[in-house]
Amino acid sequence: MCQVDATEILARYIFSKNQYRPSDHTVKYSAFMPPINKRLSVFQITGLAEEEIWVMGGALRAQSVLGRADIKANEVIAAELMLAADDNPPRHVNIVGWPEETSAIKLKAMELAEKAQLSLK
């Protein structure tokens, strides 16, 4: 597991319109709910130009990227979660260390969404 600097900014790309709130420009907790394997995929974007960040997100999936939720690595650590960088694809990091209880996972996702900054494409 590679280390991620606490000052790093991480982007969670959003492909579903029901994961953000255009009315007040905030991220819904569901954007940070991990999949069944409990590895939430994010990307390190520190030092990249805005255009490069969107190009990276756009190349990930067949679906169009709609936006992204940016969060500082130290906020993830403050929520008692861990960062596992695998650089596959480049700059890729998984947020891991999620609790077992479904309701506790929800609370962590809410905490991350509260700290995240929404950017729409």
Partner 1 sequence: MSIAVPCIGFDCPSFLTMPSGEGTDQGSSKKIVSDIRRVIAKMWGSESITFGRPLDDALASLVDVYKECSRSDWDAYGAVAVSSDAYEEAKKIINLLPSSIQMPDIVAEPTGEIGFEWRRGRGQIFVFSVGGKHRINYAGIFGGNKIHGSEYFEETLPMAIIEHLRRLYS
Applying CB under 8 A, the residues found at the interface with partner 1 are 13, 15-19, 21, 26, 28-30, 33-36, 41, 60-63, 101-104, 106-107, 110-111, 114
CB 15, min distance to partner 1, A: 4
Q: Which of 105, 34, 3 is nearest to 12 (CA)?
A: 34
Q: What is the CA radius of gyration of the chain?
A: 13
Q: How far is the CB of 75 from partner 1 (least distance, A)?
A: 14
Identity of the residue, 3 or 31, whose beta carbon is nearer to partner 1 in the bound complex: 31
- The least distance separating partner 1 from the CB of residue 83, rounded to whole angstroms, comes to 17
Nearer to partner 1 by C-beta: 70 or 111?
111
* Nearest CB to partner 1, comparing residues 83 and 113: 113
* Residue given tokens 């130009």 in the structure block: 49
C-alpha 117/C-alpha 44 separation (Å) is 14
By residue count, the chain amounts to: 121
Residue 16 or 55: the one with the smaller Cβ distance to partner 1 is 16
Secondary structure letter of residue 80 according to DSSP: T
Residue type for position 95: I
Phi, psi of 29 (to 5 degrees): -60, -30
